[in-house]
Amino acid sequence: MKQLKKAILFPLLLLSATALFASDDPDSVMDPHGAVYSESDFPSASQCAGCHQQIYDEWSSSNHAYAGISPMFHKFEQAINNLAPTIDHFCVRCHMSVGTALGEGREMPLWERSQVSREGVTCITCHRVSDSYNKVNGERYIAPGDIFQPVMGSSDGAGLRNVIDKKAAYRVATAKGERGAKIHNEAIQFETLDQSEFCVSCHQVAVNLGIKLEVVWDQYRDSPAHADGVQCQECHMSSVPGIPAAKEKGSKAVIGRKKVDPKGSHANHSFFGPGYPIAHPGIFPHHPDAADWSMEEWLEFDYRAGWGNEDFEEEIEELDEEPEFPEVWSDSSDREDAREIIEENLEKLEAKKEARKQLMENGSRIDGPFFLATPEAGKNLKFKYELHNLNSGHNLPSGSLGAQPEIWLNVALINPAGETIWESGYVDSVGDMADLHSADVRAGVIEHDDQLFNLQTKFLTTNVKGTDREMYLPVQFDVDQLPFLRPPAQPVSVMNHPPFVRMEARSIPPLGHRDARYSVPAELITSPGKYQLAVRARSRAEPIYFMRFVGATSEMEQAMNEWMLDMHPATVEFEVEER
């Protein structure tokens, strides 16, 4: 009933707000579709940073903060809209929810969007939501209002009330015209904010075909963590990445160098997860000083070449003729100032890499090798490893299905002479696994990895000729000259998947494990002696073949591979006996 009421009232709110904001503008009075809200009605995270600096710093390099900037998201989102234009705003409803509320067009370039829209999942995306929505594919109502309007929080707001009671001491303003640091005038407790249900609307997503692109909620609901009452926030906003540890002690806000409730608890807003950014480090993480230059200007700054570094600039000074720079970066002092921002952001990214590694290794384990028979020269060497999911809340990997994410095992056998004589989980010339989608495998440059242990889920599509075929999108390219994502004629529940499309799930359920079995041909085990087996689990957000499908740049590919993670690397020695 509450949602029905909201559905009825929301259009009325839009109409009244249109009249309010259009009243001083003759053009908008003439245009009934004029801007409904202004950007000031959706405060930016940079405004919140004035009192919540620690939270801002944690959030600024988080995957939430990256959601609206990610070049891979925008490439994919545009590619899927080219294939199926009816999708329209579906993706940006979660990735740039405030931009959607502001009426920004789906196709609007990132550098033309508002700052708060570029912040992706920003402060008010969560803290201006007061209703529980569950599975709504990102359709949530974010209450508009300037910085003074109430916010939703997990606590009862006593700390804020104390600040407002002592406004003079804290030097804060709670209304327009007042002097002091501008703050919201009320913090309303919203219990759902601390519960897993709050995350569902963006982390359980189904497209019109009936295919679930985000499945973490389904996995969580069937998990030991859910049975034990452990919430998503306890692991992803914990003091230890991926572990439901006790929250850190500390103040949620610092106003005028005065800590508010210093003995309170602090939820880490880094939102630990397996994702990572491949954007230009002048653009991400969010940095308050980066606004001195536009996004387009930052994209002209060659940070890899060392612009602004002391050594680089000294070398430039010694040259007879200075190299040609883009006009905006022609002044060395500008390059040096920009380099300071770059270095600060790169330092944040290094910390993010370490936290990501901790998260992934805290949630997994490799046991083995276990030999299935005594190793003997001239005999097939058979062994296995066990990859365990230590996470009690969801599968390994979790999140998106199809195309990403990737987790696989790389195993190599080294003979007594120190030579690698066999390997599985190797990559091709661009970094892709040697599976059916590898460009090098398809060209015959390298062998298909027949023993590849890969946890990446694939779509299986039925085409005009042949049986099911692995694909990275749920689209039957062979059926239509112009592919179009059409909803099924019958309920998906009848078949448990849409017609001609299903998924091949390979991920490991919570607290489960899977065996990776291998067999090395006898002709490679030519002599007795000490051999070595090396193993590592590898993780990457996107395969390069998929990045090329959506038109990613070479810089994006390079950054994607630079973030590739090696987990639990280990090498063991064992004896191969004379047969």
Let me know whether 209 and 260 are in one domain. Answer: yes
Let me know whether 409 and 320 are in one domain. Answer: no
Question: How many CB atoms neighbour CB 199 within 10 A?
Answer: 18
pTM of the model: 0.88
What pLDDT, on the 0 to 100 scale, is given for residue 22? 35
Q: How far is CA 301 from the centre of its chain?
A: 25
Let me know whether 211 and 332 are in one domain. Answer: no
More confident residue, 420 or 477: 420
Whether 496 maps to a domain, the answer reads no
For 402, 466, 501, the CA distances from 470, given in Å and listed in that order, are 10, 12, 10
Whether 482 maps to a domain, the answer reads no
Residue 265 has pLDDT above 70, yes or no: yes
Let me know whether 376 and 453 are in one domain. Answer: yes
Domain C-terminal end among 231, 266, 301: 266
Question: Binning pLDDT at 50, 70 and 90, where does residue 36 land?
Answer: low
Amino acid at 412: A
Residues 72, 30: Cα–Cα separation, whole Å = 39
- Those residues whose C-beta lies under 8 Å from the C-beta of residue 264, and which sit 6 or more positions away, are 155, 159, 249, 250, 251, 252
The boundaries of the domain holding residue 542 are: 363-457+505-576
Let me know whether 53 and 172 are in one domain. Answer: yes
Let me know whether 8 and 56 are in one domain. Answer: no
Residues 411, 422: Cα–Cα separation, whole Å = 8
Question: Binning pLDDT at 50, 70 and 90, where does residue 20 land?
Answer: very low
548-557 residue pLDDT tens? 999 999 999 9
The residue to which tokens 């002044």 are assigned? 331
Task: Provide the token pair at 375.
Answer: 């190793």
Question: How many CB atoms neighbour CB 81 within 10 A?
Answer: 17
Q: Is 462 exposed, middle or buried (0-12, 13-18, 19+ CB in 10 A)?
A: middle
Residues 476, 466: Cα–Cα separation, whole Å = 12
Let me know whether 222 and 297 are in one domain. Answer: no
Task: Provide the token pair at 210.
Answer: 């009936």
Q: Is 167 exposed, middle or buried (0-12, 13-18, 19+ CB in 10 A)?
A: middle
Whether 485 maps to a domain, the answer reads no
Q: What average pLDDT score do residues 483-494 get?
A: 63
Question: What domain count does the chain have?
Answer: 4
Whether 479 maps to a domain, the answer reads no
Whether 437 maps to a domain, the answer reads yes
Whether 463 maps to a domain, the answer reads no
For 50, 63, 302, 351, 525, the CA distances from 66, given in Å and listed in that order, are 21, 5, 21, 15, 49
Let me know whether 63 and 10 are in one domain. Answer: no
Question: Binning pLDDT at 50, 70 and 90, where does residue 487 land?
Answer: low
Let me know whether 129 and 238 are in one domain. Answer: yes
- Those residues whose C-beta lies under 8 Å from the C-beta of residue 321, and which sit 6 or more positions away, are none
Amino acid at 173: A
Residues 217, 242: Cα–Cα separation, whole Å = 16
What pLDDT, on the 0 to 100 scale, is given for residue 18? 32
